[in-house]
Amino acid sequence: MRVRRSIFAAGALLLSAGGAAAQEGSTPAGQPHPWQMGLQEALSPIEAQIHWFSNYVLAFIVPITILVAALLGWCVYRFRESRNREASRTSHNTLIEVVWTLAPVIVLLFIAVPSFQLLTAQYNPPSEPELTVKATGYQWYWGYEYQPSNDSPEAQAKAVSFDSYPLAQLTDSLADQDAASEAKGGLDFYPRLLAVDNEMVVPVNTVIRVTTTSADVIHSWAVPSMGVKVDAVPGRLNEYWFEALKEGLFYGQCSELCGQNHANMPIAVRVVSKEQFQKWYAAAAEDVGEANKQLMAEVDGRKAVEVAGR
């Protein structure tokens, strides 16, 4: 069973990579694309399993929908009033009742088993998380706190925390929102209503633990391409994990209606190499703003070189 899940997860990654290649040159991965109908590209092991499970369930939904529609159409045609002046008095059919009882039970069992496997994987990381980040929801922004691996004074002194605000407000005009995105680095990488001033920075190929809570009302920390959606509830800590498979900027939004500006409560996760993360973390312990500028200069410079080399 584990081998089969690995095969299907790899298949989902290949399919999503193919979709991303078709869209290369328009907008980067990790965010919505124009006219997108399917799920966002799978950029974490859990999201790859979610893609597989979505396609797996669809394989049941489509034939069942076609069968039910065909049966309804046949009944409408076969038992219409013009052909049945006298209504049938049939009230029982053992074979039909057995079939429509057993068939749904079997279908639900086939859906339930991989569903429980996916649910178990979502809350059981493959290894001990190497980094823990606490995300606190506020009306209407996020606060991040990187929690040290130990409680020593030296580690506490190097703890990093900051707030992440939308790059532009809903009250700003579209021109102002676009100008803010262009000033930071362009609409392709900093989309309108998704970009923030300070992204959550994490290393690639690393198991990350995310704990969430809220300071006011219920929020939800969700990044679709990472397969993450966990509620932030006042007075409670919820826990989830993810592992980014590639570097880049990945976006999400608060997914729990939380008030007037719920639509402008974006989430941005910047995934970098482990070496870049260590340098950023050391600098962020002193000055988050300066650390972000240094990281953006390094990342954007490398991106410019890659683009020039195409």
Name the CA radius of gyration of the chain, rounded: 25
| CATH no. of 131-308 | 2.60.40.420
Could you give the percent of the chain with pLDDT greater than 90? 46
Q: Stretch 279-283: mean pLDDT, rounded?
A: 90
Contacts of residue 77, defined as CB under 8 A and 6 or more positions apart, other chains included, come to none
Please check whether residue 24 is in contact with residue 16, taking contact to mean a CB–CB distance below 8 angstroms. Answer: no
Confidence band for 150, pLDDT divided at 50, 70 and 90: low
Q: Is the confidence at residue 203, as pLDDT, over 90?
A: yes
Q: What is the 3-state secondary structure (H, E, C) of the chain?
A: CHHHHHHHHHHHHHHHHHHHHHCCCCCCCCCCCCCCCCCCCCCCHHHHHHHHHHHHHHHHHHHHHHHHHHHHHHHHHHCCCCCCCCCCCCCCCHHHHHHHHHHHHHHHHHHHHHHHHHHHHHCCCCCCCCEEEEEEEECCEEEEEEECCCCCHHHHHCCEEEEECECCCCCCCHHHHHHHHHHHCCCCCCCCCCCECCCEEEECCCCEEEEEEECCCCEEEEEHHHCEEEEECECCCEEEEECCCCCEEEEEECCCCCCCCHHHCEEEEEEECHHHHHHHHHHHCCCHHHHHHHHHHHHHHHHHHHHHCC
Between residues 92 and 28, the one the model is more confident about: 92
Task: Please report the pLDDT score of residue 90 as a whole number.
Answer: 75
Confidence band for 303, pLDDT divided at 50, 70 and 90: low
Confidence band for 310, pLDDT divided at 50, 70 and 90: very low
pTM for the complete prediction? 0.77
CA distance 288 to 295: 10
Please check whether residue 199 is in contact with residue 20, taking contact to mean a CB–CB distance below 8 angstroms. Answer: no
Confidence band for 1, pLDDT divided at 50, 70 and 90: very low
Q: Stretch 248-259: mean pLDDT, rounded?
A: 92
Q: Is the confidence at residue 61, as pLDDT, over 90?
A: yes
Q: Is the confidence at residue 155, as pLDDT, over 90?
A: no
Confidence band for 152, pLDDT divided at 50, 70 and 90: very low
| Residue 256 main-chain phi, psi, to 5 deg | -135, 120
> Comparing 9-18, 99-108, 137-146, 220-229, which segment has the lowest mean pLDDT?
9-18
Q: Would you list the domain boundaries of the chain?
A: 2-122, 131-308
> Comparing 32-46, 179-193, 220-234, 263-277, which segment has the lowest mean pLDDT?
179-193
Q: Per CATH, is 2-122 categorized as 1.20.120.790?
A: no
